[in-house]
Structure 1
């Protein structure tokens, strides 16, 4: 029985180690607000504030698992294995690569390219951040499923394992909740990425239109596009806020 419990503790520890990849990926997607550009950066601020709370919960659950593992080893007088930084470093990354999309010829002009990046952000990077959030959500869901399987296969044969089942059940529910929130962050970031791309196109069209002598018709068309864009932006932001709160 002792061997089975020690093996069970090792399985939980193997899952806990995978939180290293979650922390690393999470830090990447919130590490640089400039990817949203000056015109759209304000949109992501509520998400970043809620991310801080999400990160605290991730650390809390990770610490809970560490204490549970230590408690199981201590209960049966087994010396726990020493922390293995190499093992943690070997955990596969959840960070999605940035895939460059085709750019309009005018964006290849250095000064204009720099202005667009500064004002309207980097939609390719934002898209990668969204995919990273989805990767985090999938990893957290897998972690919860694995922990649940470990409980189903190992714990029923123990005597007096009710407290362990209760504690682990709370942690599994918490990880599933974290997965749902991470998926919501992915959806929100993806939507913001669309807004960033739309803003970039609008600014580019404005620059092209003003590069030649603008006519009243040109200015009217731009005014209409800006108005439509503003309505769509307001509707999208309302949806994003509801999605994050729900």
Structure 2
């Protein structure tokens, strides 16, 4: 039975290490608000507020897993495993690299590109953040399923096994809930990225029109574009609010 308990503890510890990697990845994608630009940064504020609560739950579950591993090792008469930097380094990164895409010739002008970056943000980076959230959601769902499988296969009939299963069940449910929230963050970040890209195109077209060919027709076209953008912004914000509250 001791061997079964230790094996179960090792399985949970392996998941805990991956869970810590998820925690680090989520911190990266919310660590720099400047990627949303001055014109759109306020939109992501709702997500950041929700992420604070999610981050607290992630820390709570990670500590629960650590304590459960320590308790199982104590039950088996063994010391809890020390942090293994090699194992941690071997965990695949969940952070999606930002891809550089071709921009217009006007954006190749340094000062204009800097202004666009400052005002409207970085759509490519935001798209990478959305992909990272999707990666996190998938990984969290996989970890919950693995823990459920370990709980079914590994746990022998030791004293206190029922209580262990109850506690682990709560953690598994929490991780599944975190996966759903991460998927919502991914969808929301994608939507915000669309707004940022639209804002960037609008500002770029405005600058080009004012510099190259100012005319009544140009301004009429820009007015129509701004009106369409306003409708899209309202629809997207409604969608974001519904997802955050849902």
Scaled by the length of structure 1, what TM-score is found?
Answer: 0.96
Per-residue deviation, 1:24: 1.6
Unaligned runs of 5+ residues in structure 2 are none
Kept in 2: contact 1:137–1:183 (CA 8 A): yes
Equivalent position of 1:203 in the other structure: 203
Equivalent position of 2:188 in the other structure: 188
CA–CA separation in structure 1 for the residues paired with 2:189 and 2:80: 40
Secondary structure, aligned partner of 2:155: helix
CA–CA separation in structure 1 for the residues paired with 2:17 and 2:165: 21
Kept in 2: contact 1:137–1:179 (CA 8 A): yes
Unaligned runs of 5+ residues in structure 1 are none
Moved over 3 A (4+): 156-160
Deviations 1:161-220 (A, max 9, x none): 211111000000000000000010000001101111111111111111111352222212
Equivalent position of 1:136 in the other structure: 136
Kept in 1: contact 2:37–2:118 (CA 8 A): yes
CA–CA separation in structure 2 for the residues paired with 1:140 and 1:192: 23
> For residues 94-105 of structure 1, what are the structure 2 equivalents within 5 Å?
94-105=94-105
Equivalent position of 1:116 in the other structure: 116
Mean CA deviation greater in 87-96 or 123-132: 87-96
Equivalent position of 2:38 in the other structure: 38
CA–CA separation in structure 2 for the residues paired with 1:215 and 1:83: 66
| 1:178 counterpart = 2:178 | yes
Per-residue deviation, 1:160: 4.7
> For residues 20-59 of structure 1, what are the structure 2 equivalents within 5 Å?
20-59=20-59
Per-residue deviation, 1:2: 1.2
The root-mean-square deviation of aligned C-alpha atoms, in Å, is 1.3
CA–CA separation in structure 2 for the residues paired with 1:226 and 1:81: 59
Kept in 2: contact 1:20–1:91 (CA 8 A): no
Per-residue deviation, 1:231: 1.5
Scaled by the length of structure 2, what TM-score is found?
Answer: 0.96
Per-residue deviation, 1:120: 0.7
| 1:62 counterpart = 2:71 | no
Equivalent position of 1:147 in the other structure: 147
CA–CA separation in structure 2 for the residues paired with 1:67 and 1:20: 14
Paired residues, what number? Answer: 246
Equivalent position of 2:107 in the other structure: 107
